[in-house]
A and B are shown apart, each in its own frame.
Chain A
C-alpha cells in the first residue's frame, strides 16, 4: 500500500515539476524576449482565442480527473482491510499511546507486531482528538473520543518505525510519540509469551462482566431480564420501534454507556448506565469478551468492520 501511495506521489511530483518549469520558463522567456526597451512602448494586442481557453481548461480537467480516480482507488484500498487481521486496540490519551493485544499484553508508546501479517488498529481517545500516524506505513487517522476508528497495515520488513501523534492535542503533543517494532514471527511469538500477561483481553472482560454483575441480567439461558449475548457479535439486532442495528464494537460500547439509546425489541428499558464506572480500556475488555461468546449452535462469525462512519483508513505494507 505504501508503494501505491508513493507511486501516485511521485507521479504528482513529476507533474508539478513539469508545469512549474513550464510556467516559470515561459515567464522568464517572455520577460527577456519582450523586455521593454523604449519607455513609451506598449504591448501588441493579441486577440483572445477561445480554442486556447478551452484547451487549457479541458486538459487540466482531464489530468485532475485521472489523479482523482487514482487517488480514490488508493484510498479505497486503505479503507478496506483484509478479512483476517491481527487486531490491536489502542487508546490515545494526553500524552501517550496505550496498546492492548488481544491476549492481554499491554504496551505504552511501543507496539510490537509480527512482519508479514495484516494488522488492524482499533483506536479511541480518552480525552481530546489525537491522530495515529506511522509515516513509514503511510498510515494516518484521527483518533476521536467517543468513537472507534481503525487503520490497517501489513509490515514487510522488520525494524523500528516512528509513531507520531499528528493532531494537535495540547502541551506535550510533540512528546506523544513512539515506535512500531516489527519483528520476525518467531521473535514475536517469543515476545508474546515472555510478557507479563494478565490473561487475554477477553478473559479480563469476562472477569469484569462478573464483577459488575452484568451476568445477573444477561444470562446464557435466556431467563435473564436482558438479551442473551452468546453469538451476538456481528449479528443484526431487532430494535424496539422497528429498525435493526449490527452488533459491532460501537453498538456494544453504546449499550454499556447509554443503554437507553437503543432498546432491543421485546425487552424493557431497565439497564442502568455504566458511564463513569468503566474506563476505555475496560470497555475494550468487555467488547472482546462479548466477541468471544459463541452461540452454542453457531460457528464463529467473521469480524465485521468497525463502527458507524468513522475513518475507515486502512493502509498496508511498510515501504522500505
Chain B
C-alpha cells in the first residue's frame, strides 16, 4: 500500500451517512463501533457503581449508603462489568473489526447475524438497566439460591432475563467467528499462518458457544423457580441449592477465560509489533489457547471448595485447576522471550502489553493460592479472591483492551492520538490499579469478607489505600475517553501503517474500505514475518 496516501477518499466511515446507514449496517467494522459505544456505556455504569462502593468502604461504618443500596451496588457492578463489558468487549469490538481483515476476507460469514447480535446485546443490556432503575438487584452477580429464588425481593427476573438475552449475542458472535475462521481464510492463509489474535479468538469462540447456553438455562431455572416455585433449588421441597452453584459455575468459570483469552491474543499482537519479530514459540502459544479453553471447562468445582462439595471432588478439581494454570504460564514465558533481541518499542500499546504480562502473572500466581484447597478455605469469600480476579480482569483484560484499542485506533479511525497524554494515562492506570487492588490481598488474608458494607475498624487503613487507588484509576480511565475522542477530529492522519507492523490489517488503508481490501490478498508468508529493516517513512 502506498504510504503517501494518508487517508483514502472512500472508506467504511464515509460509505453512507445517517442513522439508518449505521443502525442497519452489515459492515463488521461499523458493527464493531456500535459495540464500542455499547460496551463503553455499560463500563462507565459499572465503574460508577465501583466508585460509590470504594467511597463507602473508605470508612468502617456503613454511613454513605444503606446496606440494601450497597448490596445492589456491588451486584450491579458485577453484572454490568462481567456480562456487559468484560465478556463482549474485546471479541465484539476488536474481534469484529479485525477477524475478517486478519484472515483476508471481506466480512464475517454471517453479517446480518452479526448485526442481530448487536441488537440482542443492547436489548439485553437495556433490560438489565431497567432492572436497576426499577429498584435494583441485590443477589450478587452470582445469583446464589435459595436467596435469589426465595428470599430476595429485588428485580431478579428482569435482570436474569436481560443476561439471558445478551447471552445469545455471545453465542451468535462466537458462532460467526468459528465459521469465518474455518471457511473464509484468504488463499494461502493456513491455520499456522494466522496471527495469534485469531487463535485466541477462535478458542474464546469455542467457549462462548459451548458454555453460554448453560448459564442461559441456569438463569431460566432461577426465573422459573421464582415465578412458579418449581423447587429445583429449594431444600424445603427436596431441591438442592448447591446444584445451582454447579450449573452456574460450569459456565462462569469458562467465562473468565472468555474474558482473558482475547486479551492474551491482543498481547501477542502487541508484543510482536512492539518487538518487530515473531512471537517466540508461536505454535506453543497457539495450542495453549486451545488447552486453556478445554481445561477451563473442567475446573468449575474450585468455586465450591467450601460450599458443600465432597473431599474427593474437591481434590480432583484442585489438581485440574493447577493444570489449567500451566498453558497461561507458557504464554507468559513465550511473550517475555519474544522481547529478547527484539526491537523494543515504548509506545503506549506496548506499555499496556508489558503491564498486562506483569499484572496477569501476579493474578495467575495468586490463582495458585486459591487452587490449593488448604489455603482456599481461608481466603475464599474474602478480599483475597476479589484482588485475585481483579488482577486478571482489570490488570489483565482491561489493560489488553486498552492496549488493543490504542494499537488499532489509527486503523479504525485513520487518526493518531496524542502519544504523550496516552503514556501518562497508561502510567496512571498502572499505578492506580496496583494501589487499589494490592492492599486487598492483605485484607483478605487478614479475614475481611467480601460483599461487606461495614467492617471492623482494624481493616480501615488498607481500605483507605484501596479507595485512594480507585480514584486514581478512575482518572486513568477517563483520560483515554477524552483524547481518543479528541483525535477523531483533530488527530494527525495515520496512514496505513503508523507502527511499522506486519499483518494483513496494516496492508490496507486507514480507515479501510468497506470491503477491506481492494484485491483479495494471497498469503505466502508466515505470521509476523518482519524483514531485516522496515521501509522508510515508517514511524
Contact status A312-B446, CB under 8 Å: no
Contact status B326-A64, CB under 8 Å: yes
Contact status B357-A60, CB under 8 Å: no
Q: Which of A22-60 contact B (CB under 8 A)?
A: 23-24, 26-27, 30-31, 34-36, 38-46, 48, 52-53, 56-57, 60
Show 8 A/B contacts (Cβ-Cβ < 8 Å), sorted by A: A16-B362, A20-B365, A40-B533, A41-B343, A68-B318, A68-B319, A135-B382, A141-B306
Measured between beta carbons, the chain B residues less than 8 angstroms from A195 are none
Contact status A138-B362, CB under 8 Å: no
* Residues of B near any A CB (own CB < 8 A): 62, 67-68, 71, 138-140, 144-147, 150-152, 235-236, 238, 241-242, 275-278, 280-282, 284, 306-311, 314-315, 318-319, 322-323, 325-326, 329-330, 332-334, 336-337, 339-346, 354, 357-358, 361-362, 365-366, 368-369, 371-378, 380-382, 445-447, 449-456, 500, 530-536, 538-539
Known: A53-B281, A140-B377. A23 touches B530 (CB 8 A): no
Instruction: Give the bracket for the number of chain A residues in contact with chain B.
Output: 35 or more
Contact status B381-A140, CB under 8 Å: yes
Known: A12-B372, A41-B343, A71-B372. A144 touches B284 (CB 8 A): no
Q: Which of A227-265 contact B (CB under 8 A)?
A: 258
Contact of A60 among B325, B354, B533 (CB under 8 A): B325
CA distance in complex: A145, B151 (Å) = 13
Q: B331 CB to closest chain A CB, in angstroms?
A: 10
CA distance in complex: A74, B449 (Å) = 22
Contact of B373 among A23, A35, A75 (CB under 8 A): A75
Chain B residue, CB-CB nearest to A9 = B375
Measured between beta carbons, the chain A residues less than 8 angstroms from B500 are 39-40
CA distance in complex: A94, B67 (Å) = 14
Measured between beta carbons, the chain B residues less than 8 angstroms from A110 are none
Q: Does A217 contact B (CB under 8 A)?
A: no
Contact status A43-B530, CB under 8 Å: yes
CA distance in complex: A138, B376 (Å) = 10
Contact status A53-B330, CB under 8 Å: yes
Contact status B306-A311, CB under 8 Å: yes
Measured between beta carbons, the chain B residues less than 8 angstroms from A94 are 151
Contact status A5-B374, CB under 8 Å: yes
Measured between beta carbons, the chain A residues less than 8 angstroms from B339 are 26-27, 30-31, 34
Contact of A162 among B325, B358, B369, B456 (CB under 8 A): B456
Contact of B311 among A41, A76, A136 (CB under 8 A): A76
Contact status B71-A171, CB under 8 Å: yes
Contact status B140-A168, CB under 8 Å: yes
Measured between beta carbons, the chain A residues less than 8 angstroms from B361 are 19-20, 23-24
Indicate with 1 or 0, residue by residue over A296-318, a CB within 8 angstroms of chain B CB atoms. 00000000000001111101000
CA distance in complex: A59, B190 (Å) = 32
CA distance in complex: A159, B455 (Å) = 20
Contact status A31-B277, CB under 8 Å: no
Measured between beta carbons, the chain A residues less than 8 angstroms from B138 are 170-171
Contact of B454 among A23, A26, A175 (CB under 8 A): A175
Measured between beta carbons, the chain B residues less than 8 angstroms from A284 are none
Known: A48-B282, A311-B306. A9 touches B455 (CB 8 A): no
Contact status B144-A167, CB under 8 Å: yes
Measured between beta carbons, the chain B residues less than 8 angstroms from A172 are 67
Contact status B67-A78, CB under 8 Å: no
CA distance in complex: A4, B67 (Å) = 36
Looking at A125-133, A180-188, A200-208, A287-295, the stretch in contact with chain B turns out to be A125-133
Contact status A128-B146, CB under 8 Å: yes
CA distance in complex: A45, B342 (Å) = 8
Contacts A40-B500, A41-B533, A133-B447 given; 5 further ones with Cβ under 8 A? A9-B369, A34-B343, A43-B341, A75-B315, A177-B456
Measured between beta carbons, the chain B residues less than 8 angstroms from A97 are none
CA distance in complex: A171, B275 (Å) = 52
Contact status B71-A173, CB under 8 Å: yes
CA distance in complex: A139, B337 (Å) = 42
CA distance in complex: A8, B378 (Å) = 11
CA distance in complex: A116, B275 (Å) = 61
Contact of A174 among B374, B452, B538 (CB under 8 A): B452
Measured between beta carbons, the chain A residues less than 8 angstroms from B325 are 60, 64
CA distance in complex: A65, B340 (Å) = 30
Contact status B146-A40, CB under 8 Å: no
Chain A residue, CB-CB nearest to B304 = A142
Contact of A24 among B284, B358, B531 (CB under 8 A): B358
Q: B356 CB to closest chain A CB, in angstroms?
A: 10
Measured between beta carbons, the chain B residues less than 8 angstroms from A168 are 71, 139-140, 144, 147, 450-451
Q: B21 CB to closest chain A CB, in angstroms?
A: 38
CA distance in complex: A3, B37 (Å) = 51
Q: Does A108 contact B (CB under 8 A)?
A: no
Contact status B310-A74, CB under 8 Å: no
Contact status B146-A129, CB under 8 Å: yes
Q: A40 CB to closest chain B CB, in angstroms?
A: 4
Contact status B277-A165, CB under 8 Å: no
Contact status B451-A313, CB under 8 Å: no
Measured between beta carbons, the chain A residues less than 8 angstroms from B336 are 23, 26-27, 30
Q: A15 CB to closest chain B CB, in angstroms?
A: 7
Measured between beta carbons, the chain B residues less than 8 angstroms from A40 are 500, 533-536, 538
Known: A45-B277, A133-B447, A311-B307. A145 touches B146 (CB 8 A): yes
Q: A298 CB to closest chain B CB, in angstroms?
A: 30
CA distance in complex: A42, B67 (Å) = 57
Measured between beta carbons, the chain B residues less than 8 angstroms from A43 are 275-277, 341-344, 530
Most A CB within 10 A of own CB, among B68, B344, B346, B357: B344
Contact status B374-A312, CB under 8 Å: no
Q: Does A164 contact B (CB under 8 A)?
A: yes
Chain B residue, CB-CB nearest to A172 = B67
Which 9 A-B residue pairings sit nearest by Cβ, starting from the closest?
Answer: A135-B447, A146-B235, A74-B374, A71-B372, A43-B277, A30-B339, A43-B342, A64-B322, A75-B373
